[in-house]
């Protein structure tokens, strides 16, 4: 059995590495075409990441395939970068989906798969597809950002004003930041539905 979060590869990746280096030199900047409604950071969605890279990859005999995986309670993605010579590199990543209010388990799995596909595709190719919210230079230039819980509290007020029953959206105890973010996205979607 393969180890999770480990890269696997063909016996040789010489031609693949050469082609990837050339492709990366030609790769245009990925346009940030989406904004996280909860954290307010900009990012390139999966479609933008794929559209930006697909033609360049093809010019250099490269392609990417991604396969959803599951094991136990984890959902993941296997990403395979292939070269026309048959050389390949593979990376696997999986996470446990969080309880997402308002989404069925299948819908929550779909969210995880799309999220992992975007990050894996961009990572394998060395693409920059998200704002750097961790960098010190970015933080020094921007005003203090709200914490995840502060933003969620603000979103609860917006939801209540829009007529959403906010009692059902209270945070459970010991909720992680990622769980708060997922709940926030779902709550934001509920608020948007009410506005229509």
Does residue 132 belong to any structural domain of this protein?
A: no
pLDDT surpasses 90 at 126: no
163 and 92, same domain (yes or no): no
Please write the tens of the pLDDT for every residue from 29-84.
Answer: 888 888 877 777 788 888 888 999 999 999 999 999 999 999 988 999 999 999 99
Q: Is 138 within a domain?
A: no
Residue 41 exposed, middle or buried by CB count within 10 Å (0-12, 13-18, 19+): middle
Nearest residue to 55 (alpha-carbon basis) of 114, 130, 125: 125
Residue where one domain finishes, among candidates 68, 94, 125 = 125
CA dihedral sign, ordered 72, 73, 75, 81: negative
**Domain ranges, residue 157:** 146-195
- Is residue 58 a part of any domain in this protein? yes
Domain count, the chain: 2
Considering the domain architecture, whether residues 40 and 111 belong to the same structural domain is answered as yes
150 assigned to some structural domain? yes
């Amino acid at each position: 059995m393969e180890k999770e979060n480990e890269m696997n590869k063909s016996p040789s990746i010489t031609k693949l590495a050469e082609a990837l280096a050339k492709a990366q030199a030609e790769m245009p900047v990925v346009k940030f075409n989406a904004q996280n409604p909860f954290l307010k950071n900009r990012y390139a969605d999966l479609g933008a990441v794929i559209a930006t890279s697909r033609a360049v990859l093809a010019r250099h005999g490269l392609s990417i395939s991604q396969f959803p995986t599951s094991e136990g309670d984890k959902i993941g993605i296997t990403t395979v970068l292939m070269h026309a010579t048959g050389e390949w590199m593979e990376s696997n990543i999986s996470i446990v989906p969080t309880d997402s209010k308002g989404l069925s388990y299948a819908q929550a799995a779909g969210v995880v798969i799309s999220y992992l596909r975007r990050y894996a595709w961009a990572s394998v190719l060395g693409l920059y597809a998200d704002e750097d919210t961790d960098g010190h230079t970015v933080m020094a230039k921007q005003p203090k950002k709200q914490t995840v819980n502060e933003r969620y509290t603000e979103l609860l007020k917006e939801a209540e004003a829009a007529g959403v029953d906010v009692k059902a959206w209270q945070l459970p105890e010991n909720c992680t930041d990622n769980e708060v973010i997922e709940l926030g996205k779902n709550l934001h979607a509920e608020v948007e539905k009410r506005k229509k």
